[in-house]
Amino acid sequence: MTAKLPRTARLLACGGALILSCTATTATAEPADNAAMLELADRSRCLTCHDVSETLRGPAWRDVAKRYRGRTDVEEMLVKKVYEGGSGAWGDDYMSANKRAGLDNIRTLVRWILTLP
C-alpha cells in the first residue's frame, strides 16, 4: 500500500509513524527532530533526489552519514557543496545548486544528516 504513495508522502508518513511508535527504539536522533527535518528537506526540494535510506539520484543520507562518521572537518565542505552543487564523490551524477534552500537551512540539514544512524 505504501508503494502507491508518492515518495515524499511516504517519507512524511514515516516521520509521523516515528512520532507515534518509534519512541522506544534505539534511534539516536529524536523522532520529533526527524519529522521536522524531513519536512524541512521536503520544503528545500532535497527529497526529489534523496531519501534517508534509499539511493535515488543522490546517495541515501544514511550512507552519507556512514561515510563521514567521526569526521569533524566535513560539515562546511558539505554545506558548501549542497549550496553550490557538485559531483564526483558518489558517482557520475551531478547535484545541482540548492541556493534557494538557503545556507542556514542547508547547514541544519547537513548537521542532521551527519547524525543519522
Nearest approach, Cβ of residue 31 and ligand HEC (Å): 20
Write out the H or E segment, with its range, that includes residue 95: strand 94-95
Contacting residues toward ligand HEC, per CB under 6 A: 44-46, 48-50, 57-59, 64, 78, 81-82, 86-91, 93-96, 98, 101, 106, 109-110, 113
Pairing of strands 86-87, 94-95: antiparallel
Q: Please say which residue, 24 or 28, places its beta carbon nearer to ligand HEC.
A: 28
Nearest approach, Cβ of residue 26 and ligand HEC (Å): 23
Greatest distance between any 2 Cα atoms in the chain: 42
Nearest approach, Cβ of residue 117 and ligand HEC (Å): 16
- Taking the C-alpha atoms of residue 92 and residue 72, their distance in angstroms, rounded to an integer, is 26
- Taking the C-alpha atoms of residue 4 and residue 83, their distance in angstroms, rounded to an integer, is 32
Q: Please say which residue, 35 or 82, places its beta carbon nearer to ligand HEC.
A: 82
Beta-bridge partners for 94 = 87
Nearest approach, Cβ of residue 4 and ligand HEC (Å): 23
